[in-house]
Structure 1
Amino acid sequence: MENSKRIDTTDIKQLANSEFVDYADDDVVIVDDLRNFSKLQTIKVDFLLIIVVKSGRVAMRTNKEENTASCNDIIICQPNTIMNDCLFSIDFTAKAVCISAQTARKMLHINEVIDLSFYLKNKPIIHIDESTMETFEKYHTLLSELLTKESTIYKKQIVGSLVSSFLFCLLNIIESVNPQRIAIHMSRGSLLFKQFVELLTSMEVKPRNVDFYSKKLCITGKYLSNICKNNSGKTAYEWITEYVTEDIHRLLSHSDMSVKEISNYLEFPNISFFGKFVKAHLGCSPTEFRKKKGIQENVDQ
């Protein structure tokens, strides 16, 4: 019973190394038989988890809310969802597609991500017809096949395009089930959270202090962090750090700027501080990151 009180955060890389995972890369994980999820204790998933129930029933608690799904239901657990007390019927079968939060955000417009988030917060289970189920199974099968193929220079782009198509298919299903989902009433806190994320994503260079954003929204930094925590499970600073890290990843991977130029561009106080930030959030120094990617570092003049 003590283990059930412990909450372990599981990210996409940890999940990829789990024994019940069938196919995986850094951004996408495929699970053919979800019954093995019953082996897990209470966890917080740090990725987008899409479960398609083929037969039987499953009961689980997601963020303290009890949910039950059966045949032809899709369960959508957003990043930072806490899952526990999973109970499966004997005839339960289901498949899952897991997508990193960063990948999902890159492939959808931020407004679509936020609107989807608020809708799914109250309705994480969607019922689909047989035809739609067949479509999802085709996506699942094709993703599985692609992830098992040998790496090529275009493999990541091919998988990414298929995942993008899969996500838009999911949005289309939700839109057809409830075309008025955008009109769902938002509390003041939820609206402020949406405005914060929109402000954050609109800035090319993102200030790394919470007060900058709270002043723009005419609220205190503490209130902004509480709003973010209540609506997403992450603080305002965690959101800022995540987006800044994505910007660094992009610039190190796809720009001709030197490490020093990137540090200056993103307004870090000095290159030493920038290096420590990168190592803390990408697991290695900026130069080592580029070496792993096979990118030649420009020498600062």
Structure 2
Amino acid sequence: MATFDKIDTTDIRQLTNSEFVDYADNDVVIIDDLRNFSKLQTIKLDFLLIIVVTSGRVAMKAGKVDSTASCNDIIICQPNTILNECLFSIDFTAKAVCLSAKVARKMLHISDVLDLSFYLKNKPIIHVDKPTMSTFEKYHTLLSEQLLKEDSKYKKQIVGYLVSSFLFCLLSIIEQTNPERTTMHISRSSVLFKQFVELLNSLEVKPRRVDYYSSRLCITTKYLSNICKENSGKTAYEWIVESAVEDINRLLSHSDMSIKEISNYLEFPNLSFFGRFVRAHLGCSPTEYRRRRDIKVEASQRGNQDKENTR
């Protein structure tokens, strides 16, 4: 058995280079045949991994929980999960959907999904009946079809809603088959982590100081960062920054506000500081980010127009 503190973290970008991946981008990976998954022995995931077992059996240790899955089982490994001691039967086949930690954490901003996250730490395998399994396989097929199509104006939205629908189907199944999850014991650190995420998500403008959130929760900044790391693999500051970057991306991409107005609205001390923050986390200046967005939109529109003209 591997020593946990010496295991390398595998993020979704590393997974995209695997030969058994059928589609991959920075946020979504689709795998139609997971028989070669044994090559991923002993890794720490930095993405959400959903495995749909279609035949055979697999035994593994997900985190510190020994799990065995067979046909019509769905395995859900959350970001920061360590996979270890994986054993596969000869007839094992499965499909998989992987979501980047960023996309997965967006889903975790929903209260019910936070409850699900704590539940899945101890019970990462869900058994479903054949009709439900057929439904999940259809989602997988739809996702594969959409992701393999050429880029279009609405491709990202289509994929996003398909993924959301797929995950809410999982929520529905767990709610029906495991009603006891709502009464299970949740540790104090997990409760505080949930409260932190809900507080962060509730704010229109997110203060970028950890002490703002720790004081609202009546705990120390060090304790808040520790419980965030324990429950999600990310520090409190990393959560805050990621949420702020999402807001910046949204405002730069989908609002008519000037860059100075966005900087003031998000309470940056000055425009220069805002520019450095955006460059550090989005890879370019706010002006360049908008310019690239406009070029991409124009290219997509020209492509759609060309398709219309050839019909």
Deviating beyond 6 angstroms after TM superposition, the runs of 4 or more aligned structure 1 residues are 1-5
2:146 is aligned with what amino acid? Answer: L
Q: Which secondary structure does the structure 1 equivalent of 2:44 belong to?
A: strand
Q: Which secondary structure does the structure 1 equivalent of 2:279 belong to?
A: helix
* Normalised TM-score (structure 2): 0.87
Partner of 1:299: none
CA distance in 1, matches of 2:48, 2:78: 5
Q: Which secondary structure does the structure 2 equivalent of 1:294 belong to?
A: helix
CA distance in 2, matches of 1:109, 1:182: 18
Change (3 A) 1:241 1:131: same
Change (3 A) 1:144 1:154: same
2:7 pairs with 1:21 = no
Number of corresponding residues: 296
CA distance in 1, matches of 2:178, 2:3: 39
Partner of 2:119: 119
Partner of 1:73: 73
Deviation at 1:201, TM superposition (A): 0.7
Change (3 A) 1:55 1:141: same
Alpha-carbon contact 1:253-1:295 (below 8 Å) kept: no
Deviation at 1:224, TM superposition (A): 1.1
5+ long unaligned stretches in structure 2 = 297-311
CA distance in 2, matches of 1:289, 1:128: 44
Alpha-carbon contact 2:210-2:221 (below 8 Å) kept: yes
Change (3 A) 1:36 1:277: farther
2:249 is aligned with what amino acid? Answer: H
2:7 is aligned with what amino acid? Answer: I
Identity within the alignment, % = 77
CA distance in 2, matches of 1:57, 1:5: 28
2:266 pairs with 1:266 = yes
- Provide Cα deviations, 1:238-264, integer angstroms capped at 9, x if missing partner: 111121111111111111122222222
- Provide Cα deviations, 1:96-141, integer angstroms capped at 9, x if missing partner: 0112344345457620221111111111111111111111111111
- Provide Cα deviations, 1:39-87, integer angstroms capped at 9, x if missing partner: 2353332222110111122122222332221221110011222223322
* Normalised TM-score (structure 1): 0.90
1:128 is aligned with what amino acid? Answer: V
2:257 pairs with 1:246 = no
Partner of 2:99: 99
Change (3 A) 1:48 1:4: closer
Change (3 A) 1:240 1:109: closer
CA distance in 2, matches of 1:232, 1:108: 10
Partner of 2:299: none
- What RMSD over aligned residues (CA atoms) do the two structures have, in Å? 2.3
CA distance in 2, matches of 1:213, 1:114: 18
Alpha-carbon contact 1:105-1:113 (below 8 Å) kept: no
Deviation at 1:276, TM superposition (A): 2.5
2:156 pairs with 1:156 = yes
CA distance in 1, matches of 2:133, 2:149: 25
Alpha-carbon contact 1:9-1:44 (below 8 Å) kept: yes
Change (3 A) 1:63 1:277: farther
Change (3 A) 1:140 1:271: same
5+ long unaligned stretches in structure 1 = 297-301
Matches within 5 A, 1:220-299: 220-294=220-294
Alpha-carbon contact 1:44-1:82 (below 8 Å) kept: yes
Alpha-carbon contact 1:4-1:41 (below 8 Å) kept: no
